[in-house]
Each structure stands twice: as structure tokens, then as C-alpha cells.
Amino acid sequence: MSGMHLSVTDVSWRPHKRSAPVLHATSFDVAKGHVLGVVGPNGAGKSTLLRLLYRFQAPTTGQVMVNGQDIWAIPARQAAQHVAAVLQEQAAAFGLNVREIISLGRTPHRRGYRSADPHDLAVIDRVMALLDLQGLSHRDFGTLSGGERQRVMVARALAQEPEILILDEPTNHLDIRHQLEVLALIRQLDLTIVVSLHDLNMAADICDNILVLEDGQPRGFGTPDSLLTEALVSNTFRVDARREKLAPSDTNHLSFHLPS
């Protein structure tokens, strides 16, 4: 796997012709192999933006370019060979076991009804090992815990062998250990990644750049240390944010309080 350059220019989205935009014109670049974090309060437009990136919703204006190619100018199957997504709400795929769900990730690479070839099987084995899922291989997906399902959906996305991975709140449902594991995995993957996160300290830890959204408007883009100042975080999230250096790691840590 290796990443691709993602270039987003002036994308906006509105549900209907006459409604106000849910997402106003937003532009940014994600260099090959970099991780971009998208943060913002509830309803800021994070999931809306991500849906434009994985070709679920066409932007009302603007373009999403992957290695110089507009993803809306290529067939959906071809786009799915480059871009995979892990979403907040997963369709309940009851009746399929874990390995079968992960195998669905190979669909964009298959022709017609051809069965899995040795490469497909090797990819599926590899991602199951990566997400520590071999022990759950034959379990019905519907019987899994929220955290186990989340790991299966990350594995399915990786089985797509994408160059760009879009993750919408990937640590939802995960206990601390599995949160850290998924974040460590994100850091270690040789992919271009766009991830929405509510935890700003986690975002600062794993992201090369951060995009802040508020009320459907981009409020800032930059490295975590330069962007996530006390003033910007306090204003955007309507809290009192304090930033302190943690010893001995010498990293910035944000804490939050309700304004008095």
C-alpha cells in the first residue's frame, strides 16, 4: 500500500437547491502518506465533508482530486479501488460472518462473480491478523460488540487496498486499549488518511495537519501545535481551553472547562 495526493478545492454541499449550505466552500491538500484530522463541534459538517471525499455524495460546488483525477469523473468501482471509508453508522450485515464481511472489501477488485483468488485470500488473512480478528473469523457479525464491529469495518476498508482511507470517528465504541491500537495503526499505515475525531489530544497526537470546522465553515488548517491554540479551541467549542506542556514527553495537552 502507498498513499495518493488528495486535493480538495472549494467543495460545498447543500441538501436541496433552495436550502442553505451545510458545508461552505472548503479547500485543503493532503500530501501522499499524510494524516489529516477533521475536528469541530457536533453538527459542524465533518461527516458531510467526509461523504464528499469517499464519493458517497457529490459536492454542490468544487472538486475532489485524487492524484490529479476528479473522483466524480471516474466510475464508482474505480474510485473504490483508491478510496475506502470506515463510517460511524455501519449497516447491520446480519447473517454474514466476520471473514465474509472483510471479504466484501475485495469487491471493487473483482470482475463479475469470479471467486476469491490467492491474492484476495492473502489480503484478507493479512488484514485480519493486523486487526487481531482471527479468533472471530467465523462469528456472526450481528453478535459482535460495538468495538469488535469497528475493528472488522477497519479491516474491511483495508482489504480494499486503498491509497486513501477516510475514517469517521474510528475510536467510537472502542475501549482505551483498542482506541490506542487503532490510533497506532493509523500512524503506521502507509496511506493518505482523513480522519474525523472528537478527541483533540488524540487528533494532535496522530495528525500531520488539522482542519477545524464550525457551523459548516472552515475555521483553520495547519499543524496541531500551530493551529490548536487556547483561543481557537475555546472559541470554536465554546469552552475554556487550557494548553499545557506534559512532562517528560514535552507534548502539548489540552484540557477543557465550562466557562464560568
Q: Which residues bind ligand ATP (CB under 6 A)?
A: 15, 22, 40, 42-48
Measured from the CB atom, is 37 or 45 closer to ligand ATP?
A: 45
Q: How far apart are CA 108 and CA 15, in angstroms?
A: 28
Shorter beta-carbon distance to ligand ATP: residue 46 or 106:
46
Nearest-approach distance from CB 154 to ligand ATP, in angstroms: 18
Q: Which is nearer to ligand ATP, 15 or 142 (CB)?
A: 15
Q: Is 106 left (phi over 0), alpha (psi -120 to 50) or beta?
A: alpha
CB of 144 to ligand ATP, least distance (A): 22
Rg, C-alpha atoms of the chain: 19
Tell the smallest beta-carbon distance from residue 258 to ligand ATP (Å). 19
CB 236 within 8 A of CB 214: yes
- Least Å distance between CB 197 and ligand ATP? 10
16 vs 245, which CB is nearer to ligand ATP?
16
182 Cβ contact list (under 8 Å, min separation 6): 150, 151, 154, 170, 171, 174
By beta-carbon proximity to ligand ATP, the closer residue of 48 and 209 is 48
Q: In the chain, at which residue ranges do the beta strands (DSSP E only) sit?
A: 6-13, 23-30, 35-39, 61-66, 69-70, 83-86, 164-168, 192-196, 209-214, 217-222, 240-246, 251-257
Q: How far is the CB of 171 from ligand ATP (least distance, A)?
A: 13
Neighbour-count burial for 2-27, b at 16+ CB within 10 Å, e otherwise: ebbbbbbbebbbbeeeeeebbbbebe
Distance CA 23, CA 7 (A): 17
Question: In this complex, which beta carbon is closest to ligand ATP, that of residue 46 or of residue 55?
Answer: 46
Q: How far is the CB of 150 from ligand ATP (least distance, A)?
A: 15
